[in-house]
Amino acid sequence: MALMEMVINGVSTRKVSEITEALCGTEFSRSTVSALCKRLDPIVTAWNERNLREHRYPFIVVDALVLRVREDERVRPRAAMIASGVNDEGYREILGIMLGDSESERSWNDFFSWLKARDLRGVDYVVSDSHSGLVKALHANFQGCTWQRCQTHAMRNLLDATPKPLHEEMHSKVRAIFEAPDQKSARLLLNALTPDLAARAPKAIGLLEDMFDDVTAVLTLPERYRKRLRTTNGMERLNEEIRRRERVIRIFPNRACVIRLLGALLMEIDEKWSSGHKYLDMTEYHAWRREHDDDEQPVSKIHRLPLT
């Protein structure tokens, strides 16, 4: 178990072999260490395939990392798709990891279908970046939910489209839009910003107008939930933990190794989350949700697509 723990925490099989020989006087080959780690497979699979029907998950965050995997004697880029969620009690969970051929719409469709097959339900808001394949699959699989485009990624996109001398001004004014008290106020700020910068940064202003509804979707939520749901920053921190271990491996020998090692790591993090403090107090959200549903007109209720 200690050997497996070292590998999960980013120690290479070669280094594990050297450490055990130095400490114990016993030599463990790299292949032996790898074989021992395979004992994790049924544990990780059971966790990664667990049924999610115990809770509803109003908020989920999705992202992908590109990893290098050896297949058919070639090293190929593969997308590790990961979802985390906040359940109806306010605890954060890692919902699962799947390896896809790429970040294509098909791969994301497979991922979302897999989550739904495990009884993922009650999804209200989904936070992600604006990868086209992801967004198309999201709208197809979670009809009725709201998509929040990550504001951190959106700001980078805007600044990339802005002349460098205008970066500070653009950042300040767009930040004010992102932090507006509601979407109506955000729209007023956008309208005030447009004539000021349209001539000097037309590409960026056009982009901001196109993304406005998606990047300010979080403003429809009660204020206490906005800070943690406006970006994928929490997922980015999770990705950093994965990258720290991935840098040791560099190239995964096969797909099973990706799920084994990253799944074991995510399983440990998930256990810490579920046994720690609540990520969000959901009391106000549930009251807001009930009020929102009650306020809808009968026609809207008929035509509104159900939350998945």
Q: What is the pLDDT of residue 260?
A: 87
Asked whether residue 64 falls in the same domain as residue 33, the answer is no
Asked whether residue 164 falls in the same domain as residue 189, the answer is yes
Asked if residue 97 belongs to a domain, the reply is yes
Q: What is the pLDDT of residue 115?
A: 98
Asked whether residue 67 falls in the same domain as residue 112, the answer is yes
Asked if residue 308 belongs to a domain, the reply is no
The enclosing domain of 111 has a CATH number of 3.30.420.10
Asked if residue 243 belongs to a domain, the reply is yes
Q: What is the pLDDT of residue 244?
A: 86
Q: What is the pLDDT of residue 184?
A: 96
Alpha-carbon span 29 to 95, nearest angstrom: 34
Asked if residue 188 belongs to a domain, the reply is yes
Closest CA to 228 of 55, 90, 56: 90
List the alpha helices (DSSP H) in 69-123: 105-117
Q: When comparing pLDDT for 301 and 33, which is higher? A: 33
Asked whether residue 83 falls in the same domain as residue 199, the answer is no
Asked whether residue 144 falls in the same domain as residue 57, the answer is yes
Tell me if 291 sits within 8 A of 108, measured CB to CB: no
Asked if residue 164 belongs to a domain, the reply is yes
Asked whether residue 260 falls in the same domain as residue 272, the answer is yes
Asked whether residue 215 falls in the same domain as residue 199, the answer is yes
pLDDT in tens, 228-265: 999 999 999 999 988 988 887 888 888 988 998 899 89
Asked whether residue 12 falls in the same domain as residue 127, the answer is no
pLDDT in tens, 52-87: 999 999 999 999 999 999 998 899 999 999 999 999
pLDDT in tens, 262-307: 998 999 999 999 989 999 999 999 999 999 887 654 433 333 444 4
Asked whether residue 181 falls in the same domain as residue 242, the answer is no
Asked whether residue 74 falls in the same domain as residue 138, the answer is yes
pLDDT > 70: what percent of the chain? 83
Total count of domains within the chain: 3
pLDDT in tens, 106-162: 999 999 999 999 999 999 999 999 988 999 999 999 988 999 999 999 999 999 999
Residue 27, pLDDT > 90, answer: no
State whether residue 307 is helix, strand or coil.
Answer: coil
Asked if residue 262 belongs to a domain, the reply is yes
Residue 132 domain boundaries: 53-148+234-285
Asked if residue 291 belongs to a domain, the reply is no
Asked whether residue 123 falls in the same domain as residue 189, the answer is no
Other CB atoms closer than 10 Å to residue 308's CB: what's the count? 18
Alpha-carbon span 56 to 59, nearest angstrom: 9
Q: What is the pLDDT of residue 170?
A: 97
Burial 54-84 (b: 16+ CB within 10 A, else e): ebbbbbbbbbbbebebeeeeeeeebbbbbbb
Q: What is the pLDDT of residue 245?
A: 81
Q: What is the pLDDT of residue 293?
A: 80
Angle at 304 between CA 107 and CA 106, to 5 degrees: 10
Asked if residue 191 belongs to a domain, the reply is yes
Asked whether residue 64 falls in the same domain as residue 20, the answer is no
